[in-house]
Chain A
Amino acid sequence: MSVEALSRGNWLARGFGALGLGRANLNLRLGAAIIVGWALIAVFAPWIAPYDPITHNLADKLQGPSLLHPLGTDNFGRDILSRVIYGARIDLQMGVLGVLFPFLIGTTLGAIAGYAGGWVDILLMRILDVVLAFPFLVLMLAIIAILQPGLTSFYIALALVGWVSYARLVRAQVLVLKTSDFVTAARSLGFGRFRILFRHILPNCIAGSIVFSMSDVVLVVLAGSSISYLGLGVQPPTAEWGVMIAEGQNFITTAWWITTFPGLAIVLMAFGFSLLADGLAERFGLRQP
């Protein structure tokens, strides 16, 4: 065992090294490990999960944790463990895609606003003010309600609402970097605007956004779960942690396991991303360790 563990440790170390995480701090390693763990669970769900997450089996309904059903069963007799495992697929996807689109849109618009200045900047910032004027969840719900409940609408709504944070973050940084010496140097060398913006300015201000996006994943997963809970996101019978909590709430006094374990899963994933955010912040030198 020891030899195996050692060689696996080496392999891990080399993997981290290849990612540039050679001297990675504890937060970063732990966070990455948790997220990689969830990703593996999501990918291999069909092989890991002991039962089918959808099929009803009323004979076994509302059973507490046992050897047969380690996390118990719900009111339709579905295995909670299997549903939590399958739920990782949806929730991880939600976290990643739900942040990716706002990240890309917000970063691009923020960078353009900051660099172009003038009326482009004024226009984009006024749109941003309008979006910010509404409470986040209310705006999300309104957009989803207009489109139609479902995961796709959720992503679209997030993209329309979530970009503002990134845009503000990046714009502020671009404004500072725009007048920095190395950007002036790049201009003096006859480089074009797009080259300067995307090759010289953005790489130097993206770190803050990446760190923010990690903590944003937490918010997005929670928002997704809340919206599913309200019945506007992922639809039953799909296994999703928010849906599971919503379904289990009627049994909270009699069958605590139905809501507790998906809740814990959300917490554990959020914890992983938070650690990752802290670790990255430290690594990028944005924060003192």
Chain B
Amino acid sequence: MSAPLPLLQVRDLAVRFRAGGVGLPGFGARYVNAVNHVSLSIAPGETLGVVGESGCGKSTLGRAILNLVDAQGGEVRFEGDVVSSHDPSSIAKLRARAAMIFQDPYASLNPKLAIGEAIAEVLRVHRKTQPEKVAARVAELLYLVGLSPELAARKPHQLSGGQCQRVGIARALAIEPRLIIADECVAALDVSIQAQILNLLMELQRQMNLSLIFISHDLGVVRHLCRRVAVMYLGRIVELGPTEQVFAAPQHPYTRALLAAVPDIDPDRTLNPAQLRGEPPSPLDLPTGCPFHPRCPHAQEVCARGEAPMLRASGTRELACHFDLPLNSQQGEGP
């Protein structure tokens, strides 16, 4: 099978933020290494999940891909072309084909703008429709995401959270994207509404052959939605591979602990004894060596030394660990 040309390729991406300090040399400028050496690619029509706990850099990664935050290193290629912050036209081209959906459905819409107008604006800016057909297209998009076109005149605060999230999706679809980056887009919604939005995303993705990067802390949602998954810890991808394999037989010790911590709905499975002690260290001062070693149950001397282990191929997946731990499939049984 010849692999299709990837739609998006990210290589060695690194994002740093300044935190505190006055920024002059020697005056205590400190940096948060939000994203470190992240590489991934996504094929047309593919769904990639990015999971991890708060502060692991998954949201920053999504924003860095769309050049919404400046990257300090690495490369993003979209449809084969390099996207560079020094080349505004490359960014414009990217943002004309790739859209983002945000976590907070209210905060991501301009509170002063009627939702129909918010969508119409996208159509006009990107010249997607002739001026006289904009209203019809807005109605069509609203209908597509399951909203009544009559709602077009409403302001965001007059809608429910689920409805606002549908507007966010309609607005993303207005640019006719090839890629959608969904950043925790169901985290703020009730379970029953969450299922509706997930269904909508899956259906649209199939209909339009969209690529989807689905950033979430909810492992259940990612498992349901995504074909491949990347697990992040402290700014690095620690494991990347086909979702079913990763979830059924996690290889990286962090992935194992993460999966074991998810409370299962099955009432006969008791709460696992907490596998990890402590909490992730602050990204302000990362530990040397493997960032996970202070909490890792399998850590050895080598893990604390030198650079963090790079992502390496291991069977069908990629892994950032010095060891090939024996597979245990205790979390094996499917959903």
Contacts and interface: CB of A to CB of B under 8 A. Distances in A.
Direct interface between A and B, CB < 8 A:
yes
A185 B111 contact: no
Given A200-B110, A204-B110, A204-B112, A188 B100 contact: yes
A111 B171 CA distance: 26
A182 B105 CA distance: 9
B317 to A, nearest CB: 30
Contacts of A180: 107
A275 B166 CA distance: 41
Contact of B68 (A182, A188, A200): A188
A197 to B, nearest CB: 13
A136 interface: no
B51 interface: no
B68 A187 contact: yes
Contacts of A200: 110, 113
A130 interface: no
Given A184-B68, A189-B122, A189-B175, A203 B99 contact: no
A191 B91 CA distance: 11
Interface residues of B, number: 27
Contacts of B104: 181
A206 to B, nearest CB: 9
Contacts of A191: 121, 125
**Secondary structure call for the B interface:** loop
A190 interface: yes
A184 B68 CA distance: 7
Nearest to B102: A181
Contact of B171 (A181, A189, A199, A204): A189
B120 to A, nearest CB: 12
B66 A188 contact: yes
21 contacts: A181-B103, A181-B104, A181-B108, A182-B108, A184-B63, A184-B100, A185-B108, A185-B109, A185-B171, A186-B110, A188-B66, A188-B95, A188-B100, A189-B171, A190-B91, A190-B95, A190-B175, A191-B121, A195-B125, A200-B113, A203-B110
Closest 7 CB pairs of A and B: A190-B95, A181-B107, A188-B100, A181-B108, A185-B108, A203-B112, A182-B110
**Secondary structure call for the A interface:** helix
Interface residues of A, number: 17
Contacts of A182: 107-111
B111 A188 contact: no
B67 to A, nearest CB: 9
Given A182-B108, A182-B110, A190-B92, 7 more contacts: A181-B103, A184-B68, A185-B108, A189-B95, A189-B172, A190-B91, A190-B126
B221 interface: no
Interface in A178-216: 180-182, 184-192, 195, 199-200, 203-204
B107 A189 contact: no
Contacts of A188: 66, 68, 95, 99-100
Nearest to B122: A189
Nearest to B174: A189
B100 to A, nearest CB: 4
Contacts of B107: 180-182
A189 B111 CA distance: 17
Contacts of A181: 102-104, 107-108
A285 to B, nearest CB: 11
B40 interface: no
A181 B68 CA distance: 11
A19 B286 CA distance: 57
B249 interface: no
A209 to B, nearest CB: 15
Nearest to A183: B110
Q: Which of A184, A189, A195, A204 has the most CB of B within 10 A?
A: A189
A180 B102 CA distance: 11
A116 B231 CA distance: 36
A10 B171 CA distance: 41
Interface string A204-237: 1000000000000000000000000000000000
Contacts of A187: 68, 95
A81 to B, nearest CB: 45
A260 to B, nearest CB: 45
A186 B109 CA distance: 9
Nearest to B63: A184
Contacts of A189: 95, 99, 122, 125, 171-172, 175
A202 to B, nearest CB: 10
Contacts of A195: 125
B219 interface: no
B266 to A, nearest CB: 36
B96 interface: yes
Contacts of B110: 182, 186, 200, 203-204
Contacts of B172: 189
Contacts of B122: 189
A190 B96 contact: yes
